[in-house]
Amino acid sequence: MAACSGSGGSTGSPPPAHCVPKGPSLSVLGKNITFTPKVLCAPADQALTITFDNEDAAIAHNVTIASRSGDFGDPSFRGQVTTGPNATIYQVAALPAGVYRLRCDIHPQQMTGYLVVAAGP
C-alpha cells in the first residue's frame, strides 16, 4: 500500500496532495474503531482495489470515499459493510486526481481518513 507523509485524519487540514502513488492496490486496517493508516495514496485515473481488514470482532465497518466535493450522500464509492473479523477486497472505479475524505458509515466520527489520488512518478 502506498501511504503519504503526514498524519492526516478528519480534523484540521487535509493531507498534502503531493504524495507519489506506488500502485492501484491499497490496504487499510479497521481496528479499535479506527482506520490505519489514516492517509492512502493512489494513482489517478486507474481502477483501484482496497483490501479492508476489519479486525474488530462482532463490529460492522465499511469504507466509503466521499465525492470530490466531500459529499458522503453521493459518494465516489461505498463499500459493503462487513462484520469482523473479516477481510474484504473492494473494487473502486478510477478516480480523477484530488483529495478525497474516507469514513466508515457505521462510525463516521471515529473512523476517518483521506485518499490522495495523484499522478504517478
24 neighbors 44 (Cβ within 8 angstroms): no
What does the domain layout of the chain look like in residue ranges?
25-118
% of the chain exceeding 90 in pLDDT:
77
Cβ 64 vs Cβ 75: under 8 Å: yes
- In three-state secondary structure terms, 81 is coil
- How much is the pLDDT for 5? 38
pLDDT, tens digit only, all 121 positions of the chain: 444 433 333 444 566 656 778 899 999 999 999 999 999 999 999 999 999 999 999 999 999 999 999 999 999 999 999 999 999 999 999 999 999 999 999 999 999 999 999 886 5
Query: pLDDT tens digits for 39-61?
Result: 999 999 999 999 999 999 999 99
Task: Kindly give, in sequence order, each residue whose CB lies less than 8 Å from that of residue 69, ignoring residues fewer than 6 positions away.
Answer: none
Identify the pLDDT of residue 116: 93
Exposed e or buried b per residue across 84-115, where buried means at least 16 C-beta atoms within 10 angstroms of its C-beta: beeebebebeebeeebbbbbbbbbeeebbbbb
Q: Which residues pair with 117 in a beta bridge?
A: 42, 98
Which pLDDT value is given to residue 121? 59
The CATH class, in words, for 25-118 is mainly beta
Which residues, 6 or more positions from 121, have their beta carbon under 8 angstroms from its beta carbon?
20
